[in-house]
Amino acid sequence: MPHFYLHLRNGAGYDEDPEGQELADLDAARLAAIDGVRSVLSEEMRQGQVDLTGAIEIADGDGNVLMIVHFRDAVQLKLDGRIA
């Protein structure tokens, strides 16, 4: 099973994933990254400030970034009943 690293880049800086995780494929890594983004954003929401400019970089064992999951793409914001 492939090994992926999910590195976090946001307003707080850059947090490299030192351990990574085994996931079935790149799509499974993308879903894990989306879950990670939503976890970060939920904590930010509790603190009253949400920053959608961050991203999670999905990398392989050689350090190649295979995909970037932007925070803004992991959620839908509804304002006045419309998706923003």
| Cα–Cα distance measured from residue 84 to residue 77, given in angstroms and rounded to the nearest whole number | 5
Where does residue 20 rank: exposed (0-12), middle (13-18), buried (19+ CB within 10 A)? middle
Q: How confident is the model at residue 28 (pLDDT cuts 50, 70, 90)?
A: very high
Structural domain of 32? 3-83
Q: Is residue 57 over pLDDT 80?
A: yes
- How many domains does the chain divide into? 1
3's tokens:
């090994």
Look at residue 84 and tell me whether its pLDDT is greater than 80: no
Whole-model pTM?
0.89
Please say if the pLDDT value at position 81 is more than 80: no
| Residues near 3 by beta carbon (within 8 Å), at least 6 away in sequence | 20, 21, 22, 60, 61
Reduced to 3 states (helix: H, G, I; strand: E, B; else coil), residue 11 is coil
Tell me what pLDDT residue 78 has: 85
| pLDDT for residue 11 | 85
